[in-house]
């Protein structure tokens, strides 16, 4: 089947859906190609086996693996097939299962090299524009998505720059422990603040308010309260009748003409039948890893090393957020003045007093954000944790039941999740694997995710600071998971960074490929750095910004 449209968007998540909505609202036709299925709200229940224990929302290792490469300090390297770097292949992308922490990047996040200086062994660079370019779009995303929160007075170094005085939705209901966080940490001279969430506290426009079931991250939202790309952008875009979503559409390559412009995208459906879409403008938004893979395998006469890869930068400068956490137990007997058993699932407190930290060299360095939350309520996962907690023979049967019951009666398990800056460097990149192929015979992505030593040290330090805060709150058994310092695989960016110099970047400041005037990349690939906050809010804001630019390139909004 062959189709024609004004704009073809490949990927329906945080980078693709806002563009599709902008184009449809301006009167143009858009086709969205999504590899995953189209699932309605009631098709994503709170089922841990279906959505956490199994790869229901991601391709199987047999059909479409990725390959991870890693090594040690001695220079030895290993490779393995993996699905670790996949989040959700579904209409709406990984935003369908996000927790929805919506924090803005700060001014110095856009000028990391200028503000903190170069870091040996890293490829860190400034953005070609700053916060003033993106702030109006942050504000617009809050209104479109329905972000809930409360603006509080913070020191100038910590406060966000805002063009609106308040969030469009009041904060979601908070567990009584939030007050304890405010009192204890505030008494130590710190500044905890309400965490903005892409979760409705009040119903609006066909979406119900949060149901407070507690199963937010890793699960879909059956009420529509979560501000996913599906709810906030695609459903309204489809209602215009100018946006068509093709689910289970695996784009295999993008074809270019003699001038090097994109002519059509080729895709296969669930039955392996081949289709194509011709368009005036193409937008790649498959996620940073898969977008790089698609560009690299879309070779043509004018693009022998991959589409838009004349600089050799496609796949390089891979970004994550550093993974870091501290965990402790809040026992009822230690806190008789706090109703730890209260039903509200959200603490909704964050801390950015450690956003800048002194480094071992005496210089200031980017630190990170700490978020206070209850450990995710995965029954099976938590039971496995108890079964293996003894360090010896796993618990089973009655002994395991008694351990789980005792812990449940004891209190609540509290976590501090740390989001730290990941420095791009030569050891973090995406390439085409020379041997492994997917079910269509195409090379899969090989992901090298070595951690820069500075990033790892920073992640561990943030986790240790989080552990200290848990102790000050009165938590027992405070500990640091062994994952601290590695990549947080649900936050990925950087493989097609923006810049003004075509020799060192893939995209211009408008996320258009330097070499291909009708090609844009709008997922996290565009980011030169990720800041020390989750990426999704920034990806949304930039995609809305670029959507407006694409409408201008098409000739402006159509009348009527």
Residue pointed to by tokens 């506290």: 201
pTM value is 0.97
What integer pLDDT is reported at residue 73 of this predicted model?
67
Where do the domains of the chain lie?
Answer: 2-554
> Which is it for the CA torsion 542, 545, 547, 550, positive or negative?
negative
Using one digit for the tens of pLDDT, what is the confidence trace for 446-498?
A: 999 999 999 999 999 999 999 999 999 999 999 998 767 889 888 999 999 99
Residues 6+ apart with CB under 8 A from 408: none
What integer pLDDT is reported at residue 351 of this predicted model?
98
Main-chain phi, psi angles of 119, to 5 degrees: -115, 120
DSSP letter at 486? S
Closest to 180 measured CA to CA, from 3, 284, 334: 334
Residue 310 to residue 506: CA distance in whole angstroms: 8
- Contact at 8 Å (CB) between 462 and 418? yes
CB 508: neighbour CB atoms within 10 A? 17
CATH number for the domain whose boundaries are 2-554: 3.50.50.60
For residue 345, CA distances in Å to 66, 173, 294, 386 come to 35, 8, 40, 21
Residue 126 to residue 110: CA distance in whole angstroms: 6
Residue pointed to by tokens 């992308």: 93
Residue 57 to residue 34: CA distance in whole angstroms: 12
What integer pLDDT is reported at residue 389 of this predicted model?
75
Residue 497 to residue 327: CA distance in whole angstroms: 35
What integer pLDDT is reported at residue 403 of this predicted model?
86
345 beta partners: none
Query: What's the chain's Rg over C-alpha atoms?
Result: 23
What integer pLDDT is reported at residue 323 of this predicted model?
87
What integer pLDDT is reported at residue 76 of this predicted model?
78
Which stretches of the chain score pLDDT less than 70?
A: 73, 360, 390-391, 483, 560
Token pair listed for 28: 């143009």
What integer pLDDT is reported at residue 315 of this predicted model?
98
Using one digit for the tens of pLDDT, what is the confidence trace for 39-49?
A: 999 999 999 99
Residue 412 to residue 175: CA distance in whole angstroms: 11
Count of alpha carbons within 13 angstroms of residue 312, beta-carbon side: 2
What integer pLDDT is reported at residue 505 of this predicted model?
98
Greatest distance between any 2 Cα atoms in the chain: 74
For residue 526, CA distances in Å to 108, 121, 289, 424 come to 17, 21, 12, 13
Token pair listed for 499: 């810049």
Residue pointed to by tokens 């800041």: 531
- Contact at 8 Å (CB) between 285 and 440? no
CA angle 409, 413, 418 (to 5 degrees): 175
Exposure of 436 by Cβ count < 10 A (0-12 exposed, 13-18 middle, 19+ buried)?
middle
Residue 319 to residue 289: CA distance in whole angstroms: 10
- Contact at 8 Å (CB) between 320 and 273? no
Residue 58 to residue 495: CA distance in whole angstroms: 21
Residue 124 to residue 355: CA distance in whole angstroms: 18
- Contact at 8 Å (CB) between 279 and 4? yes
Q: Give the rounded distance of the alpha carbon of 169 from its chain centre.
A: 22
What integer pLDDT is reported at residue 390 of this predicted model?
67
């Amino acid at each position: 089947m062959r189709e024609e449209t004004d704009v073809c968007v490949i990927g329906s998540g945080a980078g693709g859906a806002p563009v599709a909505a902008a184009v449809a609202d301006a009167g143009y036709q858009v086709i969205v190609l999504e590899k995953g299925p189209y699932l309605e709200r009631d098709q994503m229940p709170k089922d841990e086996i279906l959505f956490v224990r199994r790869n229901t929302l991601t391709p199987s290792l047999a059909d479409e693996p990725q390959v991870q490469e890693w090594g040690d300090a001695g220079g030895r390297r290993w490779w393995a097939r993996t699905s670790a770097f996949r989040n959700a292949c579904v209409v709406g992308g990984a935003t369908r299962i996000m927790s929805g922490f919506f924090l803005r990047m700060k001014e110095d996040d856009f000028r990391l090299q200028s503000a903190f200086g170069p870091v040996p062994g890293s490829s860190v660079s400034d953005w070609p524009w700053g916060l003033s370019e993106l702030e109006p779009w942050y504000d617009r995303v809050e209104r479109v998505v329905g972000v809930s929160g409360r603006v509080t007075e913070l020191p100038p170094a910590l406060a966000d720059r805002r063009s609106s005085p308040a969030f469009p939705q009041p904060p979601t209901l908070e567990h009584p422990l939030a007050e304890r966080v405010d009192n204890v940490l505030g008494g130590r001279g710190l500044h905890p603040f309400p965490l903005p969430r892409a979760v409705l506290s009040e119903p609006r426009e066909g979406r119900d308010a949060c149901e407070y079931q507690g199963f937010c991250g890793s699960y879909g939202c059956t009420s529509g309260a979560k501000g996913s790309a599906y709810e906030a952008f695609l459903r309204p875009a489809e209602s215009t009748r100018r946006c068509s979503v093709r689910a289970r559409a695996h784009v295999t390559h993008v074809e270019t003409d003699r001038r090097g412009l994109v002519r059509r995208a080729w895709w296969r459906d669930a039955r392996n039948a081949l289709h194509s879409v011709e368009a005036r403008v193409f937008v790649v938004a498959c996620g940073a890893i898969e977008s790089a893979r698609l560009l690299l395998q879309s070779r043509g006469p004018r693009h022998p090393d991959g589409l838009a890869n004349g600089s050799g930068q496609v796949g390089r400068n891979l970004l994550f957020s550093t993974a870091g956490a501290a965990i402790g137990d809040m026992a009822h007997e230690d806190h008789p003045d706090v109703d730890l058993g209260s039903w509200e699932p959200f603490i909704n407190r964050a801390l950015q007093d450690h956003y800048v930290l002194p480094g071992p060299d005496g210089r200031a360095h980017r630190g990170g954000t700490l978020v206070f939350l209850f450990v995710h309520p995965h029954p099976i996962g938590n039971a496995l944790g108890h079964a293996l907690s003894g360090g010896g023979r796993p618990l089973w049967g009655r002994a395991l039941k008694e351990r789980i019951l005792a812990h449940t009666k004891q209190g609540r398990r509290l976590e501090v999740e740390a989001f730290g800056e990941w420095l791009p460097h030569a050891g973090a990149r995406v390439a085409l694997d020379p041997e492994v192929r997917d079910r269509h015979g195409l090379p899969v992505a090989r992901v090298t995710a070595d951690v820069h030593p500075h990033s790892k040290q920073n992640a561990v330090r943030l986790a240790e600071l989080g552990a200290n805060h848990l102790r000050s709150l009165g938590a027992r058994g405070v500990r640091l998971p062994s994952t601290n310092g590695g990549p947080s695989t649900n936050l990925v960016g950087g493989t097609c960074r923006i810049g003004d110099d075509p020799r060192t970047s893939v995209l211009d400041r408008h996320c258009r490929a330097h070499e291909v005037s009708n090609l844009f990349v709008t997922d996290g690939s565009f980011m030169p750095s990720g800041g020390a906050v989750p990426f999704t809010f920034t990806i949304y804001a930039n995609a809305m910004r670029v959507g407006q630019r694409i409408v201008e390139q098409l000739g402006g909004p159509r009348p009527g």
